[in-house]
Amino acid sequence: MKIAILPGDGIGPEITAQAVKVLKALGESFEMESAEVGGAGYAAHGHPLPEKTLALAKAADAVLFGAVGDYQYDSLARALRPEQAILGLRKELGLFANLRPAILYPELAGASTLKPEVVSGLDILIIRELTGDIYFGKPRGVRECPDGPFAGQREGFDTMRYAEGEIRRIAHVAFQAARKRGSRVTSVDKANVLETFQFWRDIVTEVHKDYQDVELEHMYVDNAAMQLVRAPKKFDVIVTGNMFGDILSDAAAMLTGSIGMLPSASLDAGNKGLYEPSHGSAPDIAGKGVANPLATILSAAMMLRFSLGKAEQADRIENAVKAVLAQGLRTPDIFEEGTTRVGTEQMGDAVVNALA
């Protein structure tokens, strides 16, 4: 089995290195090959998603992705900026289903800005559609405003859109995931304002007929943003579109106070997926050896489970992570009085040791 390793920028290389170390320690024979992506792709080959990198990702059974983005690329034209790499990979590999668990580890309950009783035991799964919506809809651009009070002025515009089949397949993913958890799905939309999401609501309701054992609730996105703050534990699985999912999944991750712990999976219609931490490239701490590698290590566990058919190895990694937390080891982002502060490599080593 072949894994493409795309470390990227900022802390990407250091955290990815720890995940690779953990994967190697499993005693399986994975073929791993690395390539530049993001700012590093631009620096090496003039494009954030170089052809070689895309070809490697396409040929692999799974992709382990670090993070992209760094200050020196901020002034590039949009088409050359690091984040185009991740948008391109999603689209080119057909990674339409983004799974982002927001889990609060009992040991880290204090890290949250929310009161312990509101978040302790939090375990929600956000499923974000990843290849449709206003992210890729056309036409888009800057044009002359055709009518209304601003006619003749320049206007920026984009197209939001979802086709029936796109909604159906992500709804199936959500209902199936819910069956393995609390059997409840909250579909988040803005059906009271947007045609796209009235249509979304109609289709999700239709797909639900095949899953009568799963409870379905529809919720407006503004209300969902409120409920995530007010009573996040009421959610089990949240399914939503690309744009709303971008916002809500980050808010949900931040509820835990430990975004350095949260993995993600972006899956295609088969078994292939791209796995990356939920946090970003954090260029301010890059190269200092202080970044938390656990989100990336846990992303590797998701990869084993979803793409490589190695659920037991995934369990081993997840248990090892729990063990190092129980040992009191903490990178600075999750450090608290009374625990032991460790760096990126030490944390990776501790997970390797805990595998045994």
Ligand X SMILES: CC(C)[C@H](C(=O)O)[C@@H](O)C(=O)O
Q: How far apart are CA 87 and CA 133, in angstroms?
A: 13
State both tokens at 171: 């709804």
The verdict on 326 binding ligand X (CB under 6 A) reads no
| Active-site residue flag, 250 | yes
Q: Binder to its own copies among 251, 285, 323, 355 (CB under 8 A)?
A: 251
- From 196, 266, 281, 292, residue interacting with its own copies (rule: CB under 8 A): 196
Residues in region 277-336 near its own copies by CB under 8 A: none
192 lines the binding site for ligand X (CB under 6 A):
yes
Token pair of 333, please? 């982002």
Count Cα atoms within 13 angstroms, Cβ side, for 112: 25
Task: Based on the shown chain and the rule CB under 8 A, indicate whether residue 221 belongs to the binding site for its own copies.
Answer: yes
Task: Tell me the C-alpha distance between 104 and 118, whole Å.
Answer: 11
Answer yes or no: is 288 a known binding residue.
yes
123 is catalytic: no
Output the six-digit token pair for 279.
């946090």
Residue 175 is a binding residue for its own copies (CB under 8 A): no
Query: 155 with 142: CB under 8 angstroms?
Result: yes
Which residue from 188, 265, 182 is spatially nearest to 221, judged by alpha carbons?
Answer: 188
Q: Is 211 a catalytic residue?
A: no
The two three-digit tokens of residue 282, written as one number: 């954090």
DSSP state of 342: -
Please report whether residue 222 would count as binding its own copies according to CB under 8 A. Answer: yes
Site string for ligand X, 81-100 (x = CB under 6 A): --x--xx-------------
280 is in an annotated binding site: yes
Neighbours of 333 (CB within 10 A): 18
Using the rule CB under 8 A, which residue among 43, 80, 87, 323 binds its own copies? 87
For the question of residue 222 being annotated catalytic, the response is: yes
78 is in an annotated binding site: no
Burial class of 64 by CB neighbour count within 10 A (0 to 12, 13 to 18, 19+):
buried
Catalytic (active site) residue 210:
no
**Residues recognised as catalytic:** 135, 190, 222, 246, 250
Q: Which residues bind its own copies (CB under 8 A)?
A: 78, 81, 83, 87, 113-115, 118, 134-135, 137, 140-142, 145, 148-150, 153-166, 190, 192-200, 221-223, 225-226, 228-231, 243-244, 246-251, 253-255, 257, 259
